[in-house]
């Protein structure tokens, strides 16, 4: 009986570890989706804001997506919007690094925020 209980305990710990990994991968996917939606909203914002991205991250729809991504991540987003460019990056809890998207339609994992917060406001 003790052997059966020990086997069940070992199997349950393996299943719980797998579930935790899947949960974290799901968080990464959610962050990616939310930032990709920001890209679509940025195009709409540019058209309605007299052809500028300044103020993009104060837009209510963009801010809601950004806040959702930050909440999922548990980290802080890095954003930058200038007249003709913008970029946003959020930490990835599972994969590490940051998921970044920008005005060039780039969407991918980066390891440095230098370009995001720099004068060019791009991911890379």
111 in a structural domain: yes
Residues facing residue 114 across a β-bridge:
none
76 in a structural domain: yes
Q: pLDDT tens digits for the chain (124 residues)?
A: 788 888 888 888 777 776 777 888 899 999 999 999 999 999 999 999 999 999 999 999 999 999 999 999 999 999 999 999 999 999 999 989 999 999 999 999 999 999 999 999 999 8
Tell me how many domains the chain contains. Answer: 1
The predicted structure's pLDDT at residue 81: 97
124 in a structural domain: no
9 in a structural domain: yes
| Domain ranges, residue 44 | 2-117
The predicted structure's pLDDT at residue 7: 83
123 in a structural domain: no
23 in a structural domain: yes
The predicted structure's pLDDT at residue 1: 74
The predicted structure's pLDDT at residue 116: 95
State the Cα–Cα distance between residues 49 and 58, nearest whole angstrom: 12
Beta strands in the chain (DSSP E): 78-82, 85-91, 98-102, 107-110
The predicted structure's pLDDT at residue 14: 76
122 in a structural domain: no
92 in a structural domain: yes
């Amino acid at each position: 009986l003790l052997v059966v209980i020990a086997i069940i305990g070992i199997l349950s710990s393996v299943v719980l570890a797998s579930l935790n990994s899947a949960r974290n991968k799901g968080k990464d996917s959610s962050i990616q989706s939310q930032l990709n939606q920001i890209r679509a909203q940025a195009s709409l914002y540019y058209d309605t804001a007299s052809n500028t991205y300044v103020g993009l991250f104060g837009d209510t729809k963009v801010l809601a997506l950004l806040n959702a991504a930050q909440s999922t991540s548990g980290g802080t987003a890095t954003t930058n919007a200038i007249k003709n460019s913008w970029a946003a990056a959020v930490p990835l809890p599972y994969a590490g690094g940051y998921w970044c998207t920008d005005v060039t339609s780039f969407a991918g994992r980066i390891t440095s925020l230098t370009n995001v917060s720099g004068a060019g406001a791009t991911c890379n």
